[in-house]
Amino acid sequence: MIDVKVGDTVIVTEFRRDPREATVTKVGRVWFTIGEGHYEEKFRLDDGTTGSGYSSAPHAYTREQWAAKQQSEEAYAYLREQGVSIDYGSPWRSRAVELANLIRSAG
């Protein structure tokens, strides 16, 4: 769930493009909008996607969500460097940051 209000800043990611910041201009019950006029983009409040169903479609994150995503990606990179892989069914799948910190502290 994305908790935003008009004027908030979100981070927008798009396939093969650098992340960018955008300002929320409208918030409804299901969607929120960034930009205005021809440059409007709508994102779902429940998952931050454009609702297209494509994984390469733009995605919006709050600053907090973006920081957590970056932290998770850094943890996965560290775990790969250490030769650790986490299977999809593993209970550690959603706890990669915790696992990376445990390995760092044991080293």
Average pLDDT value for the chain: 94
Chain centre distance of CA 19: 10
| Segment 42-73, tens digit of pLDDT | 999 999 999 888 888 999 999 999 999 999 99
107 pLDDT exceeds 80? no
Per-residue pLDDT, 96: 94
**What span, in angstroms and rounded, lies between the C-alpha atoms of 11 and 22?**
6
DSSP string covering 45-83: TTTSB-SS--TTS-EEEEHHHHHHHHHHHHHHHHHHHTT
**40: pLDDT confidence band, cut at 50, 70 and 90?**
very high
CA distance 13 to 21: 9
The yes-or-no verdict on residue 38 having pLDDT over 90 is no
The two structure tokens encoding residue 25? 């201009």
Nearest to 14 by CA among 69, 72, 62, 54: 54
